[in-house]
């Protein structure tokens, strides 16, 4: 059974700090990795994707991928209260278009 | 990214009845998917809606319970049949763009009483 694991949290950080969200996956064949943000009562919103080992930066967000360790992370710099949400890690399964989602990490940014 | 709409946004239904959820995209897309998000849980793929052919269902989901139509490249429906309280969930349509990125519609919140 392909799995994607996330710490459910909540992860609480002060405003302006760096929030670090982590995700591990079991399928070594996975090629595509996505981070979605989901506000309460809303649908998931794609915020980052990464395909290659290393770091990918987009504004305040940095995705990090280590395929050897089967680990992907999301860093949020200068965290804002508006970043408070559940962050879902998703990984493609069987090298296909199917996505397997982790259970999500709830982030709380304290003003 | 494509703009996705779903109807209805929410509904309350009695057990034993059926509800059809519509998903409309503002541009033609090859891949459309239906997900379920049960209360407090993550997303689970129900099926891939294939244009012009039968949907491809994931393990644990069957066509009799969740019939899907995909008449063209911008529209799909998911029917939740013979509903029970366990079907209370958010149902989400998603599409994949040419860069293999999936985007979600606003969802349909279903409560079965």
- Compute the distance between CA of residue A15 and CA of residue A111 in angstroms, rounded to an integer: 5
CB contact under 8 Å between B48 and A88, yes or no, is: no
Tell me the CA distances in angstroms from A93 to A26, A33, A111, one per residue in order: 10, 10, 38
**How many helices (H) does chain B have, and how many strands (E)?**
0, 11
Per-residue pLDDT tens over the stretch B63-99: 999 999 999 999 999 999 999 999 999 999 999 987 7
Of all residues in chain A, the one with the smallest CA distance to B97 is A97
From chain B, pick out residues whose CB is under 8 angstroms from the CB of A45.
104
From chain A, pick out residues whose CB is under 8 angstroms from the CB of B31.
97
From chain B, pick out residues whose CB is under 8 angstroms from the CB of A98.
45, 48, 58
Per-residue pLDDT tens over the stretch B8-25: 999 999 999 999 999 999
């Amino acid at each position: 059974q392909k799995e994607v694991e996330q710490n459910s949290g909540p992860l609480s950080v002060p405003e302006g700090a760096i929030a670090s969200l982590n995700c591990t996956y079991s399928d070594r064949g996975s090629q595509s990795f996505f981070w979605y943000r989901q506000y309460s009562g809303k649908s998931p919103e794609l915020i980052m994707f990464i395909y290659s080992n290393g770091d990918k930066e987009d504004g305040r967000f940095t995705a990090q991928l280590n395929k050897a360790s089967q680990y992907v992370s999301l860093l949020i710099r200068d965290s804002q209260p508006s970043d408070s949400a559940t962050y879902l890690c998703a990984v493609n399964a069987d090298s296909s278009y199917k996505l397997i989602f982790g259970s999500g990490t709830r982030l709380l940014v304290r003003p | 990214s494509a703009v996705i709409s779903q109807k209805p946004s929410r509904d309350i239904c009695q057990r034993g009845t059926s509800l059809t959820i519509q998903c409309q995209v503002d541009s033609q897309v090859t891949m459309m998917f239906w997900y379920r998000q049960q209360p407090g849980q993550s997303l689970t793929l129900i099926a891939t809606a294939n244009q012009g052919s039968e949907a491809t269902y994931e393990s644990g989901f069957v066509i009799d319970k969740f019939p899907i139509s995909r008449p063209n490249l911008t529209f799909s429906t998911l029917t939740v049949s013979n509903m029970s309280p366990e079907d209370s969930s958010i149902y989400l349509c998603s599409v994949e763009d040419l860069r293999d990125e999936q985007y979600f519609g606003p969802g349909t919140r279903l409560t079965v009483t």
